[in-house]
Amino acid sequence: MKKIALIFIALSVAGICFFSVWQAFTFETLKADVEVLEGRQRELFEQNKRQIIGIEYLSSPRRIDQISRELELEKIDPSRVIRVVLPEGEADGGPQGGEDG
C-alpha cells in the first residue's frame, strides 16, 4: 500500500511540474502574441490619424478654392441654378420595367 502511495505522489509531482512548465510556455507564447497585436494596433492607429489629417486637408475650403482657381472655375449666381425633380421611382434613370415597359 505504501508503494502505491509513493508511486502516486511521484507521478503527482511529475504531473505538477509538467503542468507548470506547460503553463509558463503558454503564457510566454500568449504574451508574445499580445505584443505583436499591440504593435499592429499602434501602426493602424497612426495610419488612421494620417488618413484623417489627409481627409481634413483635401476637404478644407482653402484647398478646394486653390483647385477651383487652378481649373479656372468661377462661382455662379444661385439664380442660374436649375433644379430637376424626378418623380418617385424614376431616380434610377428611367421608368420601371425596362425599355419595353
Domain boundaries, given as residue ranges, for the chain:
2-72
Secondary structure class of 72 (helix, strand, coil): coil
Q: What's residue 76's pLDDT?
A: 86
Q: What's residue 57's pLDDT?
A: 87
Q: What's residue 101's pLDDT?
A: 42
- Tens of pLDDT along the chain (101 residues) come to 888 888 989 899 999 999 999 999 999 999 999 999 999 999 999 999 999 999 998 888 888 888 889 998 888 888 898 989 988 876 565 555 544 44
| Type and span of the H or E element at 9 | helix 2-58
In angstroms, the CA 21 to CA 13 distance is 12
pTM for this structure? 0.51
Q: Are the C-beta atoms of residues 57 and 63 closer than 8 Å to each other?
A: yes
In angstroms, the CA 72 to CA 45 distance is 38
